[in-house]
Structure 1
């Protein structure tokens, strides 16, 4: 039996999320409260288009119910953190269109000293059980935000994640590709050398691709474009554009590369470079939930996504609080594709 990960724009059964609870990512009660408000805003936006199941830790259900409403679909399971894209399963479909769930090894984004993953390393299997689908175990240390597929054989990866010493020491590029292809049904990997500069800070993922580049259709990829030479991502985004413009997908098509300008803001209130990116959006049934930053380029990005997805409603959601904790809208959502039997 072979399996394939559908593209994000394929029909979804539902979206899975994880509710923020007390942990090192949210440094005090004020940050935790702000995170919960931000996560709830994303959940409400997604629920306009498809069901959302929110997993919360023991004793955290009341706060979730208060912000998500009485009709929210809540389930209680042990959690360490709240980044469902990374800790949850990667859903795939078998040859007959029946869903299964890939359970990658999760080790706290490369064993970072602040991270805890006793429970998060098990949540993919628990979500698969809740979804009623079989589990496909992988020996590869990987996260959902570290891959992006076009559904037609191509996957985006980054050197500093799958080949990083904190995740898969001793694995060769060929071994990583073989395992990824076996689990996702892909046949060609396009490697980018690194992620955005801000993603290597305290709560960074060390280079997730879903903040850098994402497929937006067969043969088409959106890419973060930092236009200001003062920002360290200016050179990085030039590198991504050069690589992707020279690539073809698994079917031999030259990639159509769509630049999405970064927000104009360069630093946060603490004076650190931001990695604000519109690439970290989430596609759901009939919608595009797009990161917003109260920035002039919010509408520029929204216009690009309206052109790319004319049949979908673009819904901007303020993502600054989520980015302050180390991720974006894509990082806190995980799609379960609809079975072809339905």
Structure 2
């Protein structure tokens, strides 16, 4: 049987997260404390729907337990940062057993602030705890840089998988072949770039999971910046155009669902990449980023319509975005067999 990555809306066994510890992303005690409150809020929101395992650095479990409560399982392993979507494995299934894809991780393109000696080993640690075999890949890639529909289609971004900081010697064809071999996909849709703010200090250089994601086979959500003053006004139009003219692995023309960006444009003088696309689907629930913004309820309504059998839970994600990501970036699903 071929291993494939199930879509995020398929049933989960559990969710994996990583606990923030002292590192360059959280440069002082106040920032670290805020981050831990934010991560804990997400963990509690997800735990209402399915089991959560939180990986903590050695000696950090007590601080995690105090905030996440008794319902979250804690596992101690060496960590550098706390973005489990990217440092953890991508779980795949052949229908009867799971395996864990261990992508090569280099600190989001060997960024000067990043450390990854420990994080590059977390995928294997998670796989070991989960009791599943590891499929190693030499492709530099992260979980936030891919999104699948469960029927053979995967979304990728030119500036990530083909960026010189990650895979300078790989051709587009070679990247696609490796992605398809690991995820069981057959059709890649390439987006030209990610959101503007994602190319800042702590950005990923274009992860797909804040700009576009599948909501169902043939249905794709797109971050839509409606204010021409923000550079993502043009970016989101371009991305929507690419997806609206694309066909998936089954030959369907994609239905594009616009999800309006929050109304705020800048934070501390920098363009924000606040995005509702960076949500997390769990068993019976949607954990959705909120920003104390008028569009929070608009986005919640869109997700309630698209996922009528799931409860939408809003969690303030501004602190998480300040560190370089969102709710999807700090969670990783383990599918149920």
Work out whether the TM-score is over 0.5.
yes
Q: Please give the TM-score of this superposition, normalised by the length of structure 1.
A: 0.98
Partner of 1:23: 23
Q: Is residue 2:37 matched to residue 1:37? A: yes
Structure 1 residues without counterparts, runs of 5 or longer: none
Could you tell me how far 1:184 is from its partner in structure 2? 0.2
Could you tell me how far 1:295 is from its partner in structure 2? 0.3
Q: Is residue 2:319 matched to residue 1:318? A: no
Matches of 1:124 and 1:97 in 2, distance apart? 21
Partner of 2:280: 282
Matches of 1:337 and 1:277 in 2, distance apart? 25
Partner of 2:328: 330
Partner of 2:102: 103
Q: Deviations over 1:227-253 (max 9, x none)?
A: 000001000000001111001110001
SS of residue paired to 1:24: coil
After superposition, the CA RMSD in angstroms is 0.6
Could you tell me how far 1:72 is from its partner in structure 2? 2.4
Q: Is residue 2:254 matched to residue 1:246? A: no
Structure 2 residues without counterparts, runs of 5 or longer: none
Q: Is the 8 A contact 2:51 2:72 kept in 1?
A: no
Partner of 1:55: 55
Q: Is the 8 A contact 2:8 2:281 kept in 1?
A: yes
Partner of 1:266: 265
Q: Is residue 2:129 matched to residue 1:130? A: yes
Q: Deviations over 1:263-306 (max 9, x none)?
A: 000011x1111000000000000000000000000000000000
Partner of 2:294: 296
Partner of 2:69: 69
Partner of 2:225: 226
SS of residue paired to 2:102: strand
Matches of 1:292 and 1:164 in 2, distance apart? 30
Could you tell me how far 1:70 is from its partner in structure 2? 2.9
SS of residue paired to 1:205: coil
Could you tell me how far 1:59 is from its partner in structure 2? 1.2
Partner of 2:151: 152
Could you tell me how far 1:22 is from its partner in structure 2? 0.2
Q: Please give the TM-score of this superposition, normalised by the length of structure 2.
A: 0.99
SS of residue paired to 1:152: coil
The total of aligned residue pairs comes to 337
